[in-house]
Amino acid sequence: MGFQHQFPATSLREYDIRGIVGQTLHPTDAFAIGRTFGSLIRRNGGSTAAVGYDGRLSSPELEAFLVDGLKASGIEVLRVGRGPTPMLYFAATTLKVDGSVMVTGSHNPPNYNGFKMMLAGKPFFGAQIQELGRLSAAGDVVEEASGSDRPVDVAHDYVARLISDWDGGDRILNVVWDSGNSAAGEVLTRLVSSLPGEHTVLNGEIDGNFPAHHPDPTVAKNLEQLIAAVAEKKADLGIAFDGDADRIGVVDNKGQILWGDQLLIVLARDVLREHQGATIISDVKASQVLFDEIERAGGKALMWKTGHSLIKAKMAETKSPLAAEMSGHVFFADRWYGFDDALYAAVRLLGIVARMDGPLSDVKDALPTAISTPELRFDCDDERKFEVIKEVAARLEKKGAQVSAIDGVRVRTSDGWWLLRASNTQAVLVARAEGLSEEGLERLKAELVEQLEASGLQAPDFSGESGGH
């Protein structure tokens, strides 16, 4: 009997494969990914792959089974070992391998894990992931072969490359870092020891139980420890990472959070000094303030779909030097490789702050204010969530509303805008609204609630859910 393996439908996501360990994700799934993805590499004319893994408790076993699957397809596997996802991307890019796989659960709870892939230097996502599932179920793989594996230490070269783009001025910065027990670990320790300034690292030890707090810097409560430390140390800023360190969170010297779109404004103004007229990309969840500020700084603002693979592909297509998502993914193609890397984004941000005349809070406080809800997530069955979006879009079309359907539905009115989209990583719908006034925001929220209820869903509790942004 040859190889055949069926994945749970819920684990084959838009831009990665992900599941709950022991329920929808097992070592046999990891082997099957290796066996099938390895076959795709071979059929694409390749023979090598780089593999890395994050700090989750299940990652070492999943990595071992993944490597066995790749080897069974005749692949030479370069094992980068434990570290942040962007270090694996760096290895894949600089070692010029034919494919790469990162074992990571990203920012999800400790019992989740998953796989992010690249094929021939490009993100492997969407229809490609569905095709991998079909090939695996059909046993449509290359004949079994004997590949090989060997460890490759890229951490030194990666940190050296990060440091090489430091471009700060004479100002000595005081920085607090919250590694969040993430996979940044030893890499972050090496990085801060090489950067000028005073650095304090919180939760620096890699621990897949995430004892300090959940590893998601886009949720305000996960930044409370960092904000307190910034105040205590009288620091210039604080930087946090998610579980695999491809997403960044930032707080200024006053402890104010710079959300993903506000951070992109700071980074974009700097990049546009040398790249006037360049396209700067963000996702549909970003504030209208961001798109307006990019245009004001001489850039061309492009709104695109949420998802790290989708943004990377759009950047390559438009030759954009910089993009970022509300979720904290930041992508530099200016002097970097175009992939999302929170450590690199941190180095570039520190350079900007070190060249500023005043504190980072001056920039934050000078931004135009809109009043917005935070990102609201509420449970909706994995299959039902996409149907809801279609229903809402159809009703809005009948009403003649001003709708962007790039990713879900984003509706613009004279009051501002609201968004409803299906998460690609969880069984949830995501909603957000941004108004020009409190009254306008209330009207936007009421419209959103009306649409959800028309599809038979109980709307999330919006009460008190607004703030300057």
Q: Would you please indicate which residues are annotated as catalytic (active-site) residues?
A: 106
Distance CA 114, CA 21 (A): 9
Phi and psi angles of residue 353, each rounded to the nearest 5 degrees, phi first:
-65, -40
Non-local (6+) Cβ contacts of 234 within 8 A are 174
Distance CA 160, CA 156 (A): 6
Phi and psi angles of residue 307, each rounded to the nearest 5 degrees, phi first:
135, 125
Distance CA 53, CA 102 (A): 6
Two tokens, residue 106: 């990203």
What is the total residue count of the chain? 469
Distance CA 191, CA 169 (A): 18
User: Which residue reads 């004949």 in tokens?
Assistant: 143
DSSP assignment letter at 247: B
* 70 contacts 37 by C-beta, under 8 angstroms: yes
DSSP assignment letter at 460: P
> Strand pairing of 76-82 and 48-53?
parallel
